[in-house]
Structure 1
Amino acid sequence: MSDTCNSAPQGMPEPPKPNFQVPSNENSNICHVIAIMSGKGGVGKSLMTSLLASRVSEAGYRVGILDADITGPSIPKAFGVDGQSLHSRENLMVPAETKSGIKIVSSNLLLDDDTEPLIWRGPMIASVVKQFWSDVYWGDVDYLFVDMPPGTGDVPLTVFQSLPVEGIVVVTSPQELVSMIVEKAVNMARQMNVPILGLVENLSYYECPDCGKAHSIFGESHIDEIAKTYGVKVLAKAPIDANIAAAVDAGKVETLTVPWLDGAVAAVTGDKTEK
């Protein structure tokens, strides 16, 4: 096929690019949408979503979390709202709320038994993600964090095309294999024209309680090299900390103090929204 088949006739304007963005509803006033993404599973993406949301809420902003990991949701457990269920108001789903007022929508809050698997194909999962945006009574939210499933498949594509995502935070860990896969996530964001706020490396080091020395349990970090290659910032390097795991397991992620996340919080909030 010649190039002329793919372009408008001379003198005619190029056809507009399709807009797949899904409108929200009149009961939702969401100022900023931030996606948390990783190239693969098991690197702590949901943990970083939970911690970022908690810290931003602590700073005085109104915060929500859209749990887009439909078949592997963990956000409700981290906040201790896994016993709650979503109810309706004006034909819209009403989010569960944490102790500090963070609004959460997750597939696990739709199930009678949160161990029940959702064995769905991609189109149905993508449809639910859209509904979590358009059919939820979000109210006023300054920052909505979207916890993405791992990879660069249906759901990340749906989120980038359907929601007004302002930026993403990419989560990685020190292993070289993981770093390679994270580059795929960075490249996807670039191709979708979504700004990358920066990288967060989880499981970066373990600080010995006796001598205070940092040990690279999972190998030497490559995060600075990746950041330099792609011209993005390293926002945080998260330690291996048993206290964090214990708090999340107990549904008390909001109680954690994580000063190493200050750079990521600043990158997300900036000066864009007044408290």
Structure 2
Amino acid sequence: VSPVPHWCPRHPSPQQQRPPRQRLGTAGARPRPRRRRRRKSPLETARATLFPVGQVGCFVFQVALLDIDICGPSIPKIMGLEGEQVHQSGSGWSPVYVEENLGVMSVGFLLSSPDDAVIWRGPKKNGLIKQFLRDVDWGEVDYLIVDTPPGTSDEHLSIVQYLSATRIDGAVIVTTPQEVSLQDVRKEINFCRKVKLPIIGVVENMSGFVCPKCKNESQIFPPTTGGAEKMCQNLSVSLLGKVPLDPQIGKSCDRGQSFLAEAPESPATLSYRNIIQRIQEYCEQHHLQEEKRM
């Protein structure tokens, strides 16, 4: 177990010792006596999308990727950023950049070793999530993508609360075909509905396996109750797509390389691209609807 580091929410940073900047207008905000016009922070104009991330590809948009899986941060490994550290500047913490248009922030950058265990209760987790939103100098971004841990825990409640004043596009929920996974996903769908978080759709991962030699497809995880497709029909949720098993995905993640770039002709790559396109179309439509309401 690693000792409590100096950046823990219990130990105020120089940014916390002065009146906090309202990075999102939600975290730690105090009510104002009167309405005043003010310049929006970069993240206030971003679209927030919450979902567990396997691979992120961005070619046009300025994207911020926030990993709030405090106890199991895997984003640094997947994105090829293991060993990178967060730097402090006059405007806050600087995210670690994969490309010029993709900045990443994770608790994994704050650990001395990737094997260190983070054993924190809810209040400490919430404090760090608030710092990530308020004290990180993300710059101007188009999309904020939040990678959450499985389940419906403190991290999910906190991020929805802290981003409540922004226009959250919604959540992308990932499952596998077997019923033991679908049971948990039904709970996550109910959670989203209770906290009034829109659901962009569901992705079925590990959906069949295509043999690279004979091209025959087999079901490694049989959908005994109809899989994600049947569940989405019953719960009136969109099925964004199905991603087949491909050993290359695991190899690319372990090397911190883009699977889409390494295996452009893979059936899984085609599925990823179709899913990305559907998410983008949903976000654009959601953004237009929000503008009409304003």
TM-score by length of 1: 0.81
**Structure 1 Cα separation of the partners of residues 41 and 213 of structure 2:** 55
Match of 2:275 among 255, 264, 275: 264
What does the per-residue CA deviation read over 1:46-84, in whole Å, with 9 as the maximum and x for residues that have no partner?
31xxx2x31xx12x1111110010110000111111121
Write out per-residue CA displacement over residues 253-275 of structure 1, whole angstroms, 9 at most, x where no aligned residue: 3634412023321232223689x
Equivalent position amino acid for 1:142 in 2? D
Following TM superposition, the consecutive aligned residue runs of length 4 or more in structure 1 with deviations greater than 4 angstroms are 27-30
- CA distance in 2: counterparts of 1:76 and 1:30, whole angstroms: 26
Alignment of 1:1-275 (within 5 A): 21-22=26-27, 26=41, 28=43, 30-36=45-51, 45-47=52-54, 51=55, 53-54=56-57, 57-58=58-59, 60-99=60-99, 101-163=101-163, 164=166, 165-220=168-223, 221-253=226-258, 255-256=261-262, 257=264, 258-270=269-281, 271=284
Corresponding pairs, count: 240
Q: Could you list the runs of 5+ residues in structure 2 that have no partner in the other structure?
A: 1-24, 30-38, 289-294
Counterpart residue identity of residue 196, structure 2: N
Say if 2:61 and 2:101, in contact at 8 Å, map to a contact too: no
Which consecutive residues of structure 1, in runs of 5 or more, have no partner in the other structure? Answer: 1-19, 37-44
**Once the 2 structures are TM-superposed, how far is the Cα of residue 91 of structure 1 from its aligned partner?**
4.6
**Is the 8 Å Cα contact of residues 76 and 109 (structure 1) preserved in structure 2?**
yes
Name the Cα RMSD after superposition: 2.2
Q: TM-score, normalised by structure 2?
A: 0.76
Inter-partner Cα distance in structure 2 for 1:147 and 1:30: 19
Q: Which has the higher contact order (CA 8 A, sep 6+)?
A: 1
Q: Once the two structures are aligned, what percentage of the paired residues are identical?
A: 31
1:30 is displaced (CA, Å) by 4.5
Displacement of 1:28 in angstroms is: 4.5
Quick check: which one's strand share is greater? 1
